[in-house]
């Protein structure tokens, strides 16, 4: 893991972007191709709960509305063509993003992940999941990819289809908040203790995995102090990446109905910028800042309406760090 010294972090943008790690790892950018592998979620099918998180898009719950999930090879081919045409890209990460991507027996996971990693141009993968959907066996499978020992990677090397000894393998957990009262309010259906346990299990059985945590700022019922506590707790868990989102309201969600009924207010831009800067200051120096804002341009987003582009918001966050004279890790407690 590349740890930036404080001199480098003290330069704009005052944090370590994910692209920087990709260049360090591969020598050139690697682009994420989003994969829908047909998973569902224990928070939808009744195993943990039904109805899903209140911010999750309900239209995607129905298999009929979700539509046909095409083969992984086809999804990767389409993504590869898109990025090759646009950026002349030749390195890609398979991003298992849709629903809960470890919610299946390990044999099924192996078949899906092997399929993705075997594709030309794929140099790694990122697996998004819930903290309550991981175990030692699944982590050992991911670790076998991360240390390069998995048969699928050894074969790719032997066939001369890659020269990269070890693919980049990330696991992304939705921590979202450390407050169980909030998690219950948004029907998250797991506790913060389960997030901590997942992080500890990952460090034990997947020492070469890149561990990313997601946080949401502005969940119903949370004030800046509560969000600040979650930021500090996330920093204590010392992730390799963090994705810091604002809570945005998508039209077809349970949360949209609650918002329209006046049950809570969305976070304002100034508060989000302050909290994002707080988050950056507290993360360890090796941590990649993968995201600092949630969705804002999708026409399905009904609130907040900040009237800014993502680029403008990123610039506001960097400007805030400059104004403070701080940067990533300047308040890290490690
Ligand atoms: S855990 Fe993820 S996929 Fe499952 S309901 Fe919540 S947001 Fe949706």
Whether the CB-CB separation of 76 and 122 falls below 8 Å is answered with yes
Question: Domain locations in the chain?
Answer: 6-324
pLDDT of the residue at 61: 55
Residue 98 CA: which ligand 1 atom is closest?
3
Residue 288 Cα to ligand 1 middle (Å): 24
Q: Is the CB of 53 under 6 A from ligand 1?
A: yes
Could you give the CA distance from residue 245 to residue 213 in angstroms, rounded to a whole number? 11
pLDDT of the residue at 131: 98
258 conformational bin, left if phi > 0, alpha if psi -120 to 50, beta if neither: alpha
Task: Identify each DSSP E strand in the chain by its residue range.
Answer: 31-35, 92-96, 122-129, 168-176, 210-217, 241-246, 249-250, 288-291, 301-303
pLDDT of the residue at 269: 98
DSSP 96-158: E-SS-TT-S-HHHHHHHHHHHHHSTTEEEEEEEE-GGG--HHHHHHHHHHHTT-SHHHHHHHH
Q: What is the topology classification, in CATH, of domain 6-324? A: TIM Barrel (3.20.20)
Nearest to 198 by CA among 216, 221, 220, 171: 171
Q: Is the CB of 102 under 6 A from ligand 1?
A: no
Q: Which residue's CA is the closest to the ligand 1 atom numbered 5?
A: 52
Could you give the CA distance from residue 105 to residue 312 in angstroms, rounded to a whole number? 43
pLDDT of the residue at 57: 86
pLDDT of the residue at 65: 52
Q: What are phi and psi of 35, to 5 degrees?
A: -115, 135
pLDDT of the residue at 82: 96
Whether the CB-CB separation of 249 and 303 falls below 8 Å is answered with yes
The pTM assigned to this predicted structure is 0.96
For residue 299, give both structure tokens.
Answer: 């026409």
Q: What are phi and psi of 123, to 5 degrees?
A: -115, 5
Instruction: Pick from 34, 36, 49, 53 the residue to mutate for probing ligand 1's pocket: most ligand atoms within 8 Å of its CB.
Output: 53
For residue 307, give both structure tokens.
Answer: 């009237």
Q: What is the mean pLDDT of each run of 10 residues along the chain (334 residues)?
A: 78 95 93 95 95 84 59 95 95 96 98 98 98 98 98 98 97 98 98 98 98 98 98 98 97 96 98 98 97 93 96 98 97 92
Q: Is the CB of 293 under 6 A from ligand 1?
A: no
pLDDT of the residue at 5: 74
């Amino acid at each position: 893991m590349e740890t930036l010294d404080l001199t480098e972090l003290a330069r704009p943008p005052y944090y370590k972007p994910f692209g920087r790690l990709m260049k360090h790892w591969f020598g050139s950018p690697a682009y994420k191709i989003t994969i829908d592998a047909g998973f569902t979620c224990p928070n939808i099918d009744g195993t943990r709960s039904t109805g899903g998180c209140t911010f999750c898009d309900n239209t995607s719950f129905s298999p009929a509305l979700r539509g046909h999930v095409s083969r992984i090879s086809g999804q990767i081919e389409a993504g590869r063509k898109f990025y090759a045409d646009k950026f002349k890209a030749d390195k890609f990460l398979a991003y298992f993003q849709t629903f809960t991507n470890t919610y299946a027996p390990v044999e099924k996971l192996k078949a899906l992940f092997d399929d993705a990693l075997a594709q030309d141009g794929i140099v790694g993968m990122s697996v998004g999941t819930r903290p309550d959907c991981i175990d030692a066996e699944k982590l050992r499978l991911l670790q076998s990819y991360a240390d390069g020992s998995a048969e699928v990677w050894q074969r790719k090397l032997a066939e001369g289809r890659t020269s990269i000894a070890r693919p980049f393998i990330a696991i992304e957990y939705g921590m979202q908040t450390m407050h169980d009262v909030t998690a219950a309010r948004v029907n998250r259906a797991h506790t913060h203790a389960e997030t901590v346990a997942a992080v500890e299990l990952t460090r034990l059985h997947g020492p070469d995995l890149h561990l990313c945590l997601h946080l949401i700022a502005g969940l119903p019922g949370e004030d800046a102090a509560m969000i600040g506590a979650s930021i500090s707790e996330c920093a204590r868990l010392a992730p390799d990446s963090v994705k810091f989102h604002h809570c945005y309201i998508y039209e077809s969600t349970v949360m949209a109905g609650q918002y329209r009924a006046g049950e809570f207010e969305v976070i304002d831009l100034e508060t989000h910028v302050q909290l994002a800067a707080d988050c950056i200051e507290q993360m360890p120096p090796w941590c990649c800042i993968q995201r600092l804002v949630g969705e804002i341009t999708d026409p399905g987003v009904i609130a907040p309406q900040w009237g800014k582009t993502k680029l403008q918001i990123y610039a506001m966050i960097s400007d805030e760090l400059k104004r403070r004279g701080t940067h990533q890790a300047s308040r890290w407690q490690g």
